[in-house]
Amino acid sequence: MRYVKPMYYDKFVCIADRCPASCCQGWQIVIDDSSLDRYWNENGFFANRLKNSIDWESGTFCQYKGRCEFLNEKNLCDIQETLGEKALCDTCRNYPRHVEEFEGVREYSLSLSCPEAARLMLTEQSLVTLTEWETTEEETFEEGFDFLLYTQLLDARKILWKILQDRETNMWIRLEACCLFSEKIQVSLDQDEYFGIDEWIRLHERDFRMDYKLAEKYRKEKDERNWEQKQKEIQVLKDLERLDPSWNNLLEEAEDILYKKGKDQYEKLCTDFQIQYGYNSSWQEKWMIVAEQLAIFFLYTYFCGAVYDWEVNKKVYLMIFSVEWIQELTMCQWYKEGKILNQDAVITMAYRFAREIEHSDQNLLCLEQWLKENYGNKQPDLRKE
Ligand code: SF4
């Protein structure tokens, strides 16, 4: 079996009572069957509390005022304090560690929805790399797994990775170039032309910057209709399932501050933001690296999942949409705070965004469907390019 993890993976340590948004509040925590058995058979003095604080029908911990009933006033877990770490259920023991499974491969990642994991990822200054190792463990074989497509996706991901880490190029051009490349792959895939995918990959292996000119053109066009587009997109975000009620206020506020005063005001705000955030050398560096690490996170976590649904470009659209919206909502906070910005604001927005969007399958599906129908570039016939 082959295992893969990003270089920061092992650095993660839960900050428990110092966490600004504990994972033990606001969510239903689902308990695995073997932990449910263990809790049911507990005999000690803690047994009664365990039995009374679990919803046995749904297999989740009961909550009080949105907090897990075992999260005590010091923001520590009573199960862990009383019965030890081994007594934690799988969800609590593993989070924010996540694993994506492919035939013979396990890819480990951290979830962006955890504030400490988000801080680790987004403050990383160097280029993110992956560590791989093999074990003698027997490989898993899934019936119907498209191994050829999977290896092509791995190659395509390497190219996208290279584009995203091309620090000599403006981040928005990099994102647009990723979009163009993924659309080429998608067109070949839709036509069942695996050799076409190979061709695009080989061409980009020779020159991964080959789409930059077109990317620049599309980005300019996108910037021109940004005000209209962002208003459509915020409606999509508002229509998604709500996990944190205060997310609503954030979106309402963003709509009022950013869009309701008209296109000119919005563009002025964006320019001011870019001058402070984009052109000031130290901030530009910081933001461009944060945006790059965000994009790398979404690429690594989702891209190869296209082997199961054949939706390559949707994975890249989700990546771009997420980076853009984390910036958009951060810009709103910057305005509210009197045009002052710090890195914590971006980290907070990143984990809040991830909690709302990524932790609801329904939201992810709705958003991906909308992106498929409304996002991306309508490129002319790719074969004739
Ligand atoms: S969200 Fe992350 S840092 Fe916070 S308590 Fe949970 S695992 Fe720990």
**Band (21; pLDDT cuts 50, 70, 90):** very high
Q: Is 20 in the pocket of ligand 1 (CB under 6 A)?
A: no
Asked if the model's pLDDT at residue 100 lies above 90, the reply is yes
Q: Is 68 in the pocket of ligand 1 (CB under 6 A)?
A: no
Other beta carbons within 10 Å of 206: 8
51, amino acid identity: K
Question: Closest by alpha carbon to 5, among 99, 91, 81, 107?
Answer: 107
Asked if the model's pLDDT at residue 346 lies above 80, the reply is yes
Q: Residue range 168-195: average pLDDT?
A: 94
| % of the chain at pLDDT higher than 70 | 95
**What's this model's pTM, rounded to 2 decimal places?**
0.93
Q: Which residues pair with 10 in a beta bridge?
A: none
At residue 244, the pLDDT reads 86
**Ligand 1 atom 3: the closest Cα is on which residue?**
14
Q: Is 116 in the pocket of ligand 1 (CB under 6 A)?
A: yes
pLDDT tens, residue by residue, 118-155:
999 999 999 999 999 999 988 777 788 999 999 999 99
Asked if the model's pLDDT at residue 171 lies above 80, the reply is yes
**Best of 17, 18, 22, 355 to mutate for ligand 1, by most ligand atoms within 8 A of CB?**
22
Q: Is 76 in the pocket of ligand 1 (CB under 6 A)?
A: no
Distance between CA atoms of 48 and 345, rounded to whole angstroms?
A: 42
The domain limits of the chain are 24-94, 147-384
pLDDT tens, residue by residue, 275-319:
777 645 455 667 889 999 999 999 999 999 999 999 999 999 999
Ligand 1 atom nearest 95 alpha carbon: 7
Ligand 1 atom nearest 15 alpha carbon: 3
Question: Closest by alpha carbon to 318, among 266, 374, 249?
Answer: 374
Ligand 1 atom nearest 19 alpha carbon: 4
Q: Read off the tokens for 184.
A: 């080429």
At residue 384, the pLDDT reads 43
pLDDT tens, residue by residue, 247-282:
999 999 999 999 999 999 999 999 888 877 764 545
Which residue in the block uniquely carries the two structure tokens 């695009």? 200
Longest dimension (CA), the chain: 74
Q: Is 15 in the pocket of ligand 1 (CB under 6 A)?
A: yes
| % of the chain at pLDDT higher than 90 | 81
**Band (385; pLDDT cuts 50, 70, 90):** very low
**323 CA to centre of ligand 1 in angstroms:** 22
**4 CA to centre of ligand 1 in angstroms:** 23
Asked if the model's pLDDT at residue 381 lies above 90, the reply is no
Q: Is 114 in the pocket of ligand 1 (CB under 6 A)?
A: yes
Q: Read off the tokens for 126.
A: 């160097």
Q: How far is CA 238 from the centre of its chain?
A: 18
Ligand 1 atom nearest 116 alpha carbon: 3
**Band (66; pLDDT cuts 50, 70, 90):** confident
Asked if the model's pLDDT at residue 188 lies above 60, the reply is yes
At residue 28, the pLDDT reads 84
pLDDT tens, residue by residue, 70-94:
999 999 999 999 999 999 999 999 9
**93 CA to centre of ligand 1 in angstroms:** 11
By three-state DSSP, how is residue 285 classified? helix
At residue 151, the pLDDT reads 97
Q: Is 23 in the pocket of ligand 1 (CB under 6 A)?
A: yes
Q: Is 17 in the pocket of ligand 1 (CB under 6 A)?
A: no
Work out the angle at residue 366's Cα, subtended by the Cα atoms of residues 364 and 368, and round it to the nearest 5 degrees. Answer: 65
**Best of 94, 95, 351, 359 to mutate for ligand 1, by most ligand atoms within 8 A of CB?**
95
